[in-house]
């Protein structure tokens, strides 16, 4: 047995268990957390890059699961996020007098485990077709969770996500016709820069950009993420978009680094820059809290794309690579914290607008503190993990003379400060708001724990850099290209 299989199988088992046990399904979480925590620790202890082919088939046929640096980091961050969001959801979806809430509560748990299992599969697999399955598992769970908030937004999300999946699948079919394999590691060895491969890469990338909500294909994200219940929004923004991103990484930097034209990387970089600027400006213009946080996700995803050209030309340092993956991790934790905190604040004031937050810093200091700490990481201010990521990326950009990317990094941080301090300013306004005693301490603790983690991970910088360095393509792909030829 290997933790690699179990990390995918265990959530699915919990999904079935949760489905079967009806109203008691939510209590499976208490079993799932220690099990998944144990498996994650096991995964982190595996030697980096150790792979495992499921079911004993040999490679072209079998499906390989592999623990490289990025997978280890993302699976671990997902486990932390999912566990804490799950604990929050235990309260959020506790059965009450309101029937609709219990219906949500019943539907949430199977979807929660489906998403968890799908995300783990997406991070661990090197098989492109299996990645398609993982993508669909995650999308299905995500759409259903979005439907808990707004059916119309969910439907829009569903239709667009379907197109993304099919574009990806089309690419898989083209690659298979060309190489007779869909395993990334094998493809990397025999990649040829022919038209079919390039077409495949292009359509797959387009599909994944939809899934990762990269500008200008982000349109589905803000309504879907803003309308969903807080724990669902947290999972959607934290985990779901990262699955598309990680698959994109595997395609561009593991399977086909040798055939990628610099122009393609530049294009992705530009898209990222536009996403940062557009998402931030939109976030500034929002007057409802959750829409603001959702647009912030669009902006933050932009940094990941912005890093693509930096990673590809990193002069042997791998700093850009580490910066990008740490950014993904930091965003995961901070955004989950922020959505949970936003959910608590909005529920307390029974409103949706920024001005409804008036005086909340006194009424619920811990929740506002969680929001503030998450904001520190998203703005990329020290000592948070978000700062570390931005610093590494900035350093890489400056070393490579990528002035524009450096400017976007700095300006993006400033814009983030503008939109994130807006809700905080409302929370700090006034001085006569009465103190509200938290009814569920666990629910208050959840966003705070995530936010503190996002901030304090900045102190574990070198450890994270070391983990991310354990990816087979963490170095500059220039050397990889030489290997191929």
Partner 1 sequence: MNEFLPLLLVFLPFVPALISFALPERMAVWRDVINISFALAKLALVGFLLLSVEDGVTTEWRYEFLQGHDFILRTDAFALLFITLSAFLWLIATVYAIAYFGRGPHLARFFGFFNLCVLAATGVAMSGTTITFFLFYELLTLATWPLVVHKGDEKSLRAGRIYLIYTLAGSAAFLAGIVWLKSLVGTIEFTAPPDLSGIPRLELTLIFILCIGGLGVKAALIPFHGWLPEAMAAPAPVSALLHAVAVVKAGAFGIVRMIYDVYGIDTVSELGLGTPLAVLAGATILYGSFRAVMQTDIKKRLAYSTVSQVSYIILGASLIGPFAIIGALVHLVHQGIMKITLFMCAGALDNRMGIKSVADLDGAGRAMPVTMAAFSIGALGMIGVPPTAGFISKWHLGLGGLQSDAPWVIAVLAGSSLLNALYFLPLLYRAWLLPPSAKLASVRELDGAWNRMLILPAAITALATLAAGAFATFPFSPLSWAKLIAESGYLK
Partner 2 sequence: MAIVEHLYPLTGAVLVGLGLYGFLTLRHPLRQLLAVNVVGAGIFLILGGLGRGADSTDPFPQALVITGIVVAVALTAFGAALILRVAEDERAPDGTAADDTNGNHP
Contact residues: partner 2, CB under 8 A: 60-61, 100, 129, 132-133, 136, 140, 143-144, 147-155, 158-159, 162-163, 165-166, 169-170, 172-174, 176-177, 180, 182, 223, 226-229, 288, 290-291, 352
Binding site partner of 140, from partner 1, partner 2, none, Cβ cut-off 5-8 A by kind: partner 2
CB of 147 to partner 2, least distance (A): 6
Q: Which does 176 bind (CB under 5 to 8 A by kind): partner 1, partner 2, none?
A: partner 2
Instruction: Rank residues 31 and 180 by Cβ distance to partner 2 and give the closer one.
Output: 180
Tell me if 62 sits within 8 A of 53, measured CB to CB.
yes
CB nearer partner 2, residue 73 or residue 148: 148
Binding partner of residue 478 among partner 2, partner 1, none, CB under 5 to 8 Å per kind?
none
| CA distances, 244 to each of 168, 172, 208, 483 (Å) | 10, 15, 5, 27
Chain position carrying tokens 């990628």 = 260
Least distance between partner 1 and beta carbon 309 (Å): 17
Least distance CB 310 / partner 1 (angstroms): 13
The pair of three-digit structure tokens given for residue 419, joined into one six-digit string: 């939109």
Rounded least distance, CB 136 to partner 2, Å:
5
Which of partner 2, partner 1, none does 334 bind, CB closer than 5 to 8 A by kind?
none
Copy the structure tokens of residue 236: 């959607």
CB count in 10 Å sphere of residue 51:
16
Nearest residue (CB) to partner 1, 20 versus 407 = 407
Q: Please, is 348 exposed, middle or buried when counting C-beta atoms within 10 Å of its C-beta (0-12, 13-18, 19+)? A: middle
d(CA 77, CA 10): 17
Nearer to partner 1, 288 or 317 (CB): 317
* Interacting residues of 139 by C-beta distance below 8 A, sequence separation 6+: 158, 161, 162, 164, 165, 211, 240
Q: Which is nearer to partner 1, 110 or 461 (CB)?
A: 461
The C-alpha angle with vertex 245 and arms to 241 and 250, in degrees rounded to 5, equals 150
- Contact positions vs partner 1 (CB under 8 A): 359, 361-362, 365, 376, 381-383, 388, 391-392, 394-395, 398-399, 406, 410-411, 413-414, 417-418, 421, 425, 428-432, 459, 461-462, 465
430 binds, among partner 1, partner 2, none (CB under 5 to 8 A by kind): partner 1
Which residues neighbour 73 within 8 Å (Cβ) at sequence distance 6 or greater? Answer: 325, 326, 328, 329, 464, 467, 468
| Contact partner, 202, from partner 2, partner 1, none, Cβ < 5-8 Å per class | none
Rounded to a whole number of angstroms, the minimum distance from the CB of residue 158 to partner 2 is: 6
State the DSSP code for 127.
Answer: B
Q: Which does 359 bind (CB under 5 to 8 A by kind): partner 1, partner 2, none?
A: partner 1
H helix intervals, 125-257: 128-147, 151-179, 184-190, 195-211, 221-227, 230-235, 241-249
Q: Which does 50 bind (CB under 5 to 8 A by kind): partner 2, partner 1, none?
A: none
Q: What does the alpha-carbon distance between residue 109 and residue 89 come to, in Å, rounded to a whole number?
A: 9
Cβ closest to partner 2, residue 167 vs residue 376: 167
Residue among 244 and 477 whose Cβ is closer to partner 2: 244
* 8 A C-beta contact, residue 348 and residue 93: no
49 or 365: CB nearest partner 1: 365
């Amino acid at each position: 047995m290997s933790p690699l299989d179990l990390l995918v199988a265990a959530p699915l088992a919990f999904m079935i268990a949760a489905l079967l046990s009806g109203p008691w399904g939510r209590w499976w979480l208490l079993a799932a957390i220690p099990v998944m925590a144990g498996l994650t620790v096991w995964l982190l202890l595996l030697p980096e890059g150790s792979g495992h082919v499921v079911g004993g088939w040999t490679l072209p046929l079998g499906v390989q699961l592999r623990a490289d640096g990025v997978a280890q980091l993302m699976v671990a961050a997902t486990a932390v996020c999912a566990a804490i969001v799950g604990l929050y959801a235990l309260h959020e979806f506790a059965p009450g007098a309101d029937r609709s809430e219990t219906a949500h509560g019943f539907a949430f748990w199977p979807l929660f485990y489906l998403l968890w299992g799908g995300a783990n599969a997406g991070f661990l697999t090197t098989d492109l077709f299996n990645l398609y399955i993982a993508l669909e598992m995650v999308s299905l769970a995500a759409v259903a969770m979005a439907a808990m908030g707004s059916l119309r937004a969910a439907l829009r999300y569903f239709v667009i996500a379907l197109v993304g999946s099919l574009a990806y699948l089309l690419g898989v079919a083209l690659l298979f016709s060309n190489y007779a394999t869909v395993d990334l590691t094998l493809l990397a060895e025999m990649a040829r820069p022919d038209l079919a491969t390039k077409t495949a890469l292009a359509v797959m990338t387009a599909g994944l950009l939809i899934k990762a909500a990269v500008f200008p294909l982000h349109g589905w994200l803000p309504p879907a993420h803003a309308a969903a219940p807080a724990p669902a929004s947290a999972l959607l923004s934290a985990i779901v978009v990262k699955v598309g991103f990680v698959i994109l990484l595997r395609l561009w930097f593991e399977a086909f680094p040798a055939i990628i034209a610099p122009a393609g990387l530049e294009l992705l970089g530009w898209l990222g820059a536009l996403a940062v600027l557009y998402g931030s400006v939109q976030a500034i213009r929002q007057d409802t809290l959750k829409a603001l946080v959702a647009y912030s996700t669009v902006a933050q995803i932009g940094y990941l794309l912005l890093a693509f050209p930096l990673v590809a030309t990193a002069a042997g340092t791998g700093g850009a690579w580490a910066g990008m993956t740490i950014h993904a991790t930091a965003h995961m934790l901070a955004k989950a914290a922020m959505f949970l905190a936003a959910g608590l604040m909005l529920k307390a004031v029974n409103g949706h607008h920024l001005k409804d937050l008036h005086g909340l810093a006194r009424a619920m200091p811990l929740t506002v503190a969680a929001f503030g700490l998450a904001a520190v990481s998203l703005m990329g201010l020290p000592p948070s993990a978000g700062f570390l990521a931005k610093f590494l990326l900035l350093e890489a950009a400056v070393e490579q003379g990528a002035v524009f990317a450096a400017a976007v990094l700095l300006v993006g941080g400033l814009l983030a400060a503008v939109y994130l301090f807006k809700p905080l300013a409302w929370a700090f306004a006034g001085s006569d708001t009465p103190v509200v005693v938290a009814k569920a301490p666990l629910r208050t603790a959840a966003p705070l724990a995530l936010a503190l983690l996002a901030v304090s991970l900045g102190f574990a910088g070198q450890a994270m850099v070391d983990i991310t360095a354990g990816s087979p393509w963490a170095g500059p792909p220039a050397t990889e290209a030489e290997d191929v030829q």
